Structure 1
Amino acid sequence: MIIKKIKVFWTNHSKDKMRFYKLSEQRVLRILNFPKRVEEGIAPNTIAMMQQAGSKKHPYEIWAMIQETKARRKIISAWKYPGITKPHSEIAFNFFRREYGDYFLSENNKDMIG
């Protein structure tokens, strides 16, 4: 069985964010390969993946936002979030509705709107 490796494209924004948050390329790739949670990204046609990190006393999450095509996987951004977020939080969906109303009102995403 031959497994075709998908090429990874790093945007300048993602490289800057990784430098700011002191994240390595390998750490971000580990999030993409073994995410704890996958959600809809804040930009249209994107996916956000997350892994928990830190300690029990000082937990944080490392997020990566990607855009997938057949040929490559574009890493748009990566960041650390202090604390623990709730899955599919209502605050995030309200933000999505306000910022990307047309996208969220399309036929494909009606099941996501509560």
Structure 2
Amino acid sequence: MFLKLPKNSEKIFWTKHSQMKMRQYRFSEKRVLRILRKPDRKEEGIAEGTIAAMQITGTKKHPTEAWTMYVVLKKPKGIKIISAWRYPGRTPEGARPIIPEDTLEELEKMLK
């Protein structure tokens, strides 16, 4: 099954990294946008100046969280989706989300 990669619109911009992670975790464009619109929790993102939004997914027996990291742009006005990932289990509230090392390195390169 191949997922359609999202395309940039007037308000939403997608990085190559976010598109790659969406394919890896099998997130659709609508799923990521739903996390943005109705998050169960919002926190400060790992990268400087970013926001991480989360929705609870999975079942009671196998709980997971779907996370999206984004930044609000001033010019052009809109939102840039930086990354999306699935976390197995539940993260404590207020704690920064745990991101694998390879993903952190990619994010640092992308934001520089």
- Going by fraction, where is helix more abundant, 1 or 2? 1
C-alpha distance in 2 between matches for 1:88 and 1:55: 22
Question: Given the alignment of the two structures, is residue 74 of structure 1 paired with residue 84 of structure 2, yes or no?
Answer: no
1:51 to 48, 52, 55: 55
Q: Which residues in structure 2 correspond to 1:71-110 (within 5 Å)? A: 71-89=77-95, 92=96
Normalized against structure 2, the TM-score is what? 0.74
Cα displacement (A) at 1:72: 1.1
Shift of 1:13: 0.1
Aligned partner of 1:30 among 34, 38, 42: 34
Alignment partner, residue 16 of structure 2: 12
Q: SS state of the match for residue 71, structure 2?
A: strand
Mark the structure with the bigger radius of gyration: 1
Identity of aligned residues (%): 57
Amino acid at match of 2:37: N
Structure 1 residue ranges without an equivalent (≥5) = 1-5, 94-114
The whole-number CA distance in structure 1 between the counterparts of 2:66 and 2:83 is 11
Q: What is the alpha-carbon distance in structure 2 between the residues aligned to residue 59 and residue 26 of structure 1?
A: 21
Q: CA deviation at 1:28?
A: 0.3
Normalised TM-score (structure 1): 0.72
What's the CA shift string for 1:21-64, capped at 9, x where partnerless? 00000000000000000000011110000000011100100000
Amino acid corresponding to residue 43 of structure 1 in structure 2 = A
Dislocated runs of 4+, deviation >6 Å: none
1:61 and 2:57 aligned: no
